Chains A and B, each alone.
Chain A
Amino acid sequence: MARYMERTNGLLRVLRTNYVASQDEIKQYNWRSVLQTYGYLSPSEMETIQYNSRAVLEYVMLGKENEASLINSITRSRENARAVQDHITKEMWHNLNAYYLLIREPSIRQTIQSGDPITALDALIRHSLLLYGTIDITMSRGEAYSFLNVGRFVERAIIITDVSDIKLKEVNYRLDDELTLPSLRYLLYSLSGYEVYLKTSRGIMTPDTIMKQVLYDESFVHSILYCMSHISRYFKRLEGQSIPESFAHLDFLIGKAYNNLKYSTCDLKGGVSIGALLNQTRSDLYNIAIAFNKHYFGYN
């Protein structure tokens, strides 16, 4: 549930940023990398819509046939929440249900098809934030809250690796090209990190300092290392409620992933090296998620 919730929030921010970018460019904006990450279209199907912002938004946000779409994520999150209503607060359930109803409103589709898509995206982002606020204010800091947060930060870290990969793909992993900076600036926008970057780096835009913030800055809430340390923090709270072997296995995987990232020898000036680190990190995160499913949720 928490992973789906985080995914919707991350996806909404990615779409908003890319949509704004598409409106501010003279050349036609290509949505291919977004479609590759958040969809299952064949190359030929992709070609038909990759320059059409509204069609892309409709497919990624409202496409029921698209497993990775926003509407499917919200629906699944709600289904999961319905199944664990005894562990979550009534307010949280109400909010999630309202979120589900909101995305199904005809006005959202209409706004995306023919109105101002940012209005629709903003309404959904606002609701997503309302949900976070509700969780923060109403949930007790017990087992369920820890699970929610582990899921939330696992998903956030995966989203960061995906979004970074999208932007690196746009420049063919070449960080020495001058066209890199606009793409990386939009990466920061997608992660709500542009202002943080300006404050800490005095506005001097260099690919390696941008990537350093995205990968390693532990005070930036959308850096991978921040997420990793929070996965570890919330997971450790579950120790008392865990089977020792399960806890030990997960603890090892989380520690390994954290150290793989923190002590990596990645060359921040080289896109290929960063790409490899992102792949490694994503793989570590998936392993954590799979182990969680196996040891804590009984999936095989």
Chain B
Amino acid sequence: MTIPKILESYNPQEDIWDELMGEDGVRPIYEQFVRSIEGISHEEMEGKDDLAKKLFMTQGITFTVYSDREGVEKIFPFDIIPRVISSEEWSVIETGIKQRLKALNIFLKDIYHQQFIIKDGIIPLKLIYSCPLFLREMMYVDVPFDIYSHIAGIDLVRDADGSFYVLEDNLRTPSGVSYMLENRSMTVRIFPDLIPKNNVRSVIEYPSFLLKNLLGLANRQTSNPTVVLLTPGVYNSAYFEHTTLARLMGIELVERRDLVVENHHVYMKTTAGLKKVDVIYRRVDDDFMDPLVFRPDSILGVPGIYWAYRKGNVAIVNAMGNGVADDKVVYAYVPEMIRYYLNEEPILKNVPTYALDVPENRSMVFANMDKMVIKKTNESGGYGMLIGNKASEEEMETYKKAILEDPRSFIAQPIINLSTSPCYIDGKMQPRRVDLRPFALYGPDGISIVPGGLTRVALKEGSLVVNSSQGGGSKDTWVLGS
């Protein structure tokens, strides 16, 4: 199709996959969308952009930044132009994620039980035992249905050749799903009628799928199990998400003070007295879950909850100790896990990853630091990261020193040229880097993934960092029907 006026100034960069424009102009999956907006005037687009901001403000769709002196809550920047994914691409993503999540769950069971993967020499013992997220307390704990990661947010990026790579497996407490749902409802407001016209698949079923899985984990003989969402509280960065999910599922949102453990059973305090809790969807990190077992200074966790869990009296989602499977060094072994446990070739690729406790890797990375991203193995949210081509000499030296002091805590990856997607910024369409976080739900009936996810955008020109805590934003993700 010919380039419409609204895209005349759109200028994708060379050697970067652009979601909208290919060599032959607008890609077919975007044609319908582009046709729909080509007649929209500049003023109308500005109006839509303003409407989006206003709606996020009035609806209180916010996140919290810990170190921001201006205030606690911030509006999550939203870009009004959706990212479009074809049904064929989605099919690959969906099967790839299911394969990966299945293997990772088997790995978690294995690593906390017989440890065949270590005995067979696929993963070094040292690697697992040196991982700070490996919980010895989870050894030989039987979890319901052998599912450890019930909710996973797998981060995907696209390289210059257009193929998808898994960047991270978030198997602990992945967040962002409420923004996926809110972004969709924003698009309905901003571009009325476009979703049905573009044959976009619905994401509305996510809370129902999640609740079904949570209810399925209750092992008590009851038709009415009690499910709660445990939040660290109002100052947590994802508190908006916690309240949204609890509301959408009709379950109680509880904090530490609302729960009590008696005789290895968890109870919720209610106005009618104590009520037994069967399933806890927790958004509190492992370390803080039980001050009697993990960090004694934790005021977020519930004393005694670990033993209630270990005895099988309560199901916890996600299971504790999952961090060992999304440690950035262990990540490098996921393709091997898939081959080892499933006897299949991985559908989704890994980004090449170099563990820096290996001397050869270290010297190679030090020699090519400007082409590498160096990450701390157990940080998330874009913290503890050095992007080689943007870093100063001084920053590189600081990192080198830190790596030499504690090499196990760092990995390096070549800089991936994240794909760009059109964004409406400063009154015109501009390409910005994006990633994609689809949310997979693993329950007793199998793995389900709603067609969509959270597309995060690096709103700053030239930036590769999409995390909300680092100035990123998000946009709606459209998976087209076949």
User: What is A's interface to B at a CB cutoff of 8 Å?
Assistant: 20, 22-29, 53-54, 115-119, 195, 197-205
CB-nearest residue of chain B to A115: B192
Contacts of B195 in A (CB 8 A): 23-24
Contacts of A117 in B (CB 8 A): 192
CA distance A53 to B481 in the complex (A): 21
Contact assessment for A119 and B202 in the assembled complex, using a CB-CB cutoff below 8 Å: no
The reply to whether the CB of B199 lies closer than 8 angstroms to some CB of chain A is yes
Quick one: which of A27, A28, A202 has the most chain B CB within 10 A? A202
CB neighbors of A among B178-207 (8 A): 184-185, 188-190, 192-193, 195-196, 199-202, 204
- List 8 extra interface pairs beyond A53-B193, A203-B215, CB under 8 A: A23-B195, A117-B192, A118-B188, A119-B189, A198-B251, A202-B215, A202-B225, A202-B251
Known: A118-B189, A203-B208. A29 touches B196 (CB 8 A): yes
The reply to whether the CB of B51 lies closer than 8 angstroms to some CB of chain A is yes
Contacts of A202 in B (CB 8 A): 211, 215, 224-225, 227, 250-251
CA distance A204 to B211 in the complex (A): 9
The reply to whether the CB of B135 lies closer than 8 angstroms to some CB of chain A is no
CA distance A179 to B202 in the complex (A): 15
CA distance A198 to B204 in the complex (A): 15
The reply to whether the CB of B249 lies closer than 8 angstroms to some CB of chain A is yes
Q: How many residue pairs bridge A and B at CB < 8 Å?
A: 64
Interface size class of chain B, counting residues whose CB lies under 8 Å from the partner chain: 20 to 34
The reply to whether the CB of B339 lies closer than 8 angstroms to some CB of chain A is no
Contacts of A116 in B (CB 8 A): 51, 189-190, 192
Contact assessment for B192 and A23 in the assembled complex, using a CB-CB cutoff below 8 Å: yes
Contact assessment for A197 and B250 in the assembled complex, using a CB-CB cutoff below 8 Å: yes
CA distance A197 to B190 in the complex (A): 29
Contact assessment for B204 and A24 in the assembled complex, using a CB-CB cutoff below 8 Å: yes
CB-nearest residue of chain B to A26: B481
CA distance A164 to B196 in the complex (A): 25
Contacts of B113 in A (CB 8 A): none
Chosen A-B contacts, 5 in total, with CB atoms closer than 8 Å, are A23-B192, A23-B193, A24-B188, A26-B481, A28-B196
Picked from A20, A27, A28, the residue with its CB within 8 Å of the CB of B188 is A20
Picked from A23, A54, A204, the residue with its CB within 8 Å of the CB of B215 is A204
Picked from B190, B200, B208, B225, the residue with its CB within 8 Å of the CB of A26 is B200
Contact assessment for B208 and A205 in the assembled complex, using a CB-CB cutoff below 8 Å: yes
CA distance A24 to B197 in the complex (A): 10
Contact assessment for B225 and A22 in the assembled complex, using a CB-CB cutoff below 8 Å: no
Contacts of B189 in A (CB 8 A): 116, 118-119
* Shortest Cβ distance from residue A106 to the other chain B in the assembled complex, whole angstroms: 16
Contacts of A53 in B (CB 8 A): 192-193
The reply to whether the CB of B247 lies closer than 8 angstroms to some CB of chain A is yes
Contact assessment for A26 and B199 in the assembled complex, using a CB-CB cutoff below 8 Å: yes
Contact assessment for B188 and A26 in the assembled complex, using a CB-CB cutoff below 8 Å: no
Contacts of A26 in B (CB 8 A): 196, 199-202, 481
Contacts of A200 in B (CB 8 A): 250
CB neighbors of A among B461-481 (8 A): 481
Q: Which 5 A-B pairs have the closest CB atoms?
A: A198-B250, A203-B211, A23-B188, A199-B250, A116-B189
CB-nearest residue of chain A to B194: A23
Contacts of B225 in A (CB 8 A): 202
Contact assessment for A25 and B51 in the assembled complex, using a CB-CB cutoff below 8 Å: no
Contacts of B211 in A (CB 8 A): 202-203
Contacts of B185 in A (CB 8 A): 20
Contact assessment for B196 and A22 in the assembled complex, using a CB-CB cutoff below 8 Å: yes
Contacts of A29 in B (CB 8 A): 196
* Shortest Cβ distance from residue A109 to the other chain B in the assembled complex, whole angstroms: 15
Contact assessment for A23 and B224 in the assembled complex, using a CB-CB cutoff below 8 Å: no
CA distance A203 to B195 in the complex (A): 27
CB neighbors of A among B213-264 (8 A): 215, 224-225, 227, 247-251
Contacts of A54 in B (CB 8 A): 192-193
Contacts of A115 in B (CB 8 A): 192
Contacts of B215 in A (CB 8 A): 202-204
CB-nearest residue of chain A to B191: A116
CA distance A204 to B251 in the complex (A): 12
Contacts of A22 in B (CB 8 A): 196
Contacts of B212 in A (CB 8 A): 203
Contacts of B250 in A (CB 8 A): 195, 197-203
CA distance A83 to B215 in the complex (A): 56
CA distance A190 to B215 in the complex (A): 26
Contacts of A25 in B (CB 8 A): 196, 202
CA distance A200 to B251 in the complex (A): 10
CB-nearest residue of chain A to B226: A202
CA distance A161 to B191 in the complex (A): 33
Contact assessment for A198 and B188 in the assembled complex, using a CB-CB cutoff below 8 Å: no
Contacts of A119 in B (CB 8 A): 51, 189
Contacts of B201 in A (CB 8 A): 26
Contacts of A204 in B (CB 8 A): 215
Contacts of A197 in B (CB 8 A): 250
Contacts of B192 in A (CB 8 A): 23, 53-54, 115-117
